[in-house]
Amino acid sequence: MSEAASTRTSVALLPSLAPLLHQWLPRQRWFAGKGSHVAGFSLVSATELLPLQGPGPGLLHLLVRVRQPDLATTHAAADCYQLLIGVRQTLPPVLAPSLIGHVAEGPLAGRTVYEGLHDPRLSAVLLERLRAPGTLGPLRFDRFDRAPAIPRGLLPRPLDAEQSNSSLVYGDTFILKLFRRIHPGPNPDLELPLALARAGCERAPVPVAWYESHAPEPFTLGVLQPYLRDSRDAWMLALEALAGGRAFDKEAHALGRVTAEVHTALAHALPTVRLRGAQTEQLAAAMTQRLDAAAKAVPALVPHVPRLRAAFDAVAVLGRHGRAWIAQRVHGDLHLGQALHCSTDGAWSVIDFEGEPARPLTERRRPQPAVRDVAGMLRSFDYAARTHRPWNPTWAEVCRDAYCEGYAAACGTDPREEPELLRAYETDKAVYEVVYEARHRPDWLPVPMAAICRLAAAP
């Protein structure tokens, strides 16, 4: 298709798909704006990955802004989403569950559109593109120069996981994570593993290849990594240990080591800053603000507010008295589910470096004290322990100690030597969990509330 014809197609395309997207998009697991009115769509870019007018199925890559005025205060005015739309005359029965709808007018009038990632003929195209670096319209496909070659013809299948993005597994050899809600600028889920791979740190799967869009704004769209087929995540392993009445201290120790190795490599590879008095006060003030907002949303927090505020104030006071902390790039959302253990070689790998997706990208990319990740993992041991009845608080305490010892063994710094900062980050995390559980899973609320009581009672 000529460029002029392609532009005409793009302009007419979105209005013709809009009625179908209105129905389909809010039902997708990865759609972040559920429950809020969708006022309309605007097209950021449209790229034909496979011709739409050819004899076979077509594949359309869309970046679409979704206007949701109710969300304007918490999200961008219009979040941008990545869509891969399959186009066929009729859908074979096996693809029926992936139907988006039948297009009534515009350039695709009379055609059927569907979730392209569910069609192996279409998702194979993405791997083919990633095999050969180059550009296609606004899309640029790149490869890590030291990564192993990508073989041809690996069969794709969608990963069947509850996730906020979409992943495809190719022949049990590679996994491609496609970011759904995208933000301008480098995605840390590419940036950090790439920095680790370049530094020779093997604690995260190597980003073998990736693709981005470079116009009109830069977006990271997808990252291909080796698929760790014989692996299980530490959350599953921890629950099994609990169910079998087994300790988890050896694993926790190894997780501490891995965390420290990742932190050390990130601190060498990417910029660090020193947090002095003013920045420390800002940090404590932001935590206090989140606590106050949380207490408004969840009244059960109110009696604990003075003691929890004191935990944040303690950090501000240390800063005022000249205590400085190093801030560096961190994982940002570390928990037991983010560590995979490979049963064949016993190695641990850390995954999903995108940070907490609900926070703005600029905040997620900002250097922070490494203790923040440690606090995330400590909270996760607590969660694991609480899923088991009868509750065994000693199990979590042993894990916490083993994790910190493993961390110290690998980098020489024991996170417990910074009790004020660790307590502040754990408190901040527990406050976040209280709000999340109250809103989404009230049955789980007692888990972070127990941590709130413990942290509030700490001397």
**326: phi then psi, degrees, rounded to nearest 5:** -80, 135
Cβ contact 340:231 at 8 Å:
yes
Instruction: Report what 311 binds from ligand ATP, Mg ion, none; CB cut-off 5-8 Å by kind.
Output: none
Nearest to 60, CA basis, from 2, 131, 139: 139
Among 7, 23, 135, 163, binds ligand ATP (CB under 6 A): 163
Interface segment toward Mg ion; rule CB under 5 A; list 23-31, 221-229, 276-284, 350-358 = 350-358
Does 447 participate in binding ligand ATP (rule CB under 6 A)?
Answer: no
Interface segment toward Mg ion; rule CB under 5 A; list 5-13, 98-106, 175-183, 352-360 = 352-360
Does 225 participate in binding ligand ATP (rule CB under 6 A)?
Answer: yes
In the complex with ligand ATP, the residue whose CB is nearer, 355 or 406, is: 355
Interface segment toward ligand ATP; rule CB under 6 A; list 74-82, 88-96, 98-106, 220-228 = 220-228
196 three-state secondary structure: helix
224 three-state secondary structure: strand
In the complex with ligand ATP, the residue whose CB is nearer, 165 or 259, is: 165
Residues numbered 350 to 409 that lie near ligand ATP (CB under 6 A) are: 351-352, 354
Does 382 participate in binding Mg ion (rule CB under 5 A)?
Answer: no
Residue nearest Mg ion by beta-carbon distance: 352
Instruction: Report what 159 binds from Mg ion, ligand ATP, none; CB cut-off 5-8 Å by kind.
Output: ligand ATP
Cβ contact 353:329 at 8 Å:
no
Helix and strand counts by DSSP (H, E) for the chain: 12, 18
Instruction: Report what 25 binds from Mg ion, ligand ATP, none; CB cut-off 5-8 Å by kind.
Output: none
Minimum CB separation of residue 31 from Mg ion in Å reads 15
Cβ contact 218:184 at 8 Å:
yes
User: What sections of 298-418 are H helices per DSSP?
Assistant: 305-320, 361-364, 371-386, 393-411
Interface segment toward ligand ATP; rule CB under 6 A; list 11-19, 161-169, 280-288, 324-332 = 161-169
From CA 284, how far away is CA 421, in angstroms rounded? 10
In the complex with ligand ATP, the residue whose CB is nearer, 83 or 175, is: 175
In the complex with ligand ATP, the residue whose CB is nearer, 167 or 328, is: 167
From CA 169, how far away is CA 160, in angstroms rounded? 10
Does 352 participate in binding Mg ion (rule CB under 5 A)?
Answer: yes
Site size toward ligand ATP, by CB under 6 A:
19
From CA 414, how far away is CA 410, in angstroms rounded? 10
Does 355 participate in binding Mg ion (rule CB under 5 A)?
Answer: no
357 Cβ contact partners less than 8 Å away, ≥ 6 residues apart: 32, 164, 181
Cβ contact 166:212 at 8 Å:
no
325 three-state secondary structure: strand
The token pair that represents 136 in the structure block: 């296609």
Cβ contact 248:238 at 8 Å:
yes
Does 98 participate in binding ligand ATP (rule CB under 6 A)?
Answer: no
Minimum CB separation of residue 91 from Mg ion in Å reads 30
User: What sections of 175-329 are H helices per DSSP?
Assistant: 188-198, 234-243, 249-269, 277-297, 305-320
Spacing of C-alpha 261 from chain mean position: 20
Does 165 participate in binding ligand ATP (rule CB under 6 A)?
Answer: yes
Chain length of the chain: 459
Instruction: Report what 183 binds from ligand ATP, Mg ion, none; CB cut-off 5-8 Å by kind.
Output: none
| CA distance readout (Å), 276 to 263, 323, 418 | 20, 7, 15
In the complex with Mg ion, the residue whose CB is nearer, 162 or 443, is: 162
Does 312 participate in binding ligand ATP (rule CB under 6 A)?
Answer: no
Interface segment toward ligand ATP; rule CB under 6 A; list 224-232, 243-251, 372-380, 393-401 = 224-232
Does 157 participate in binding ligand ATP (rule CB under 6 A)?
Answer: no
| Site for Mg ion, rule CB under 5 A | 352
| Site for ligand ATP, rule CB under 6 A | 159, 161, 163-165, 167, 175, 177, 205, 225, 227-228, 231, 233, 337, 340, 351-352, 354
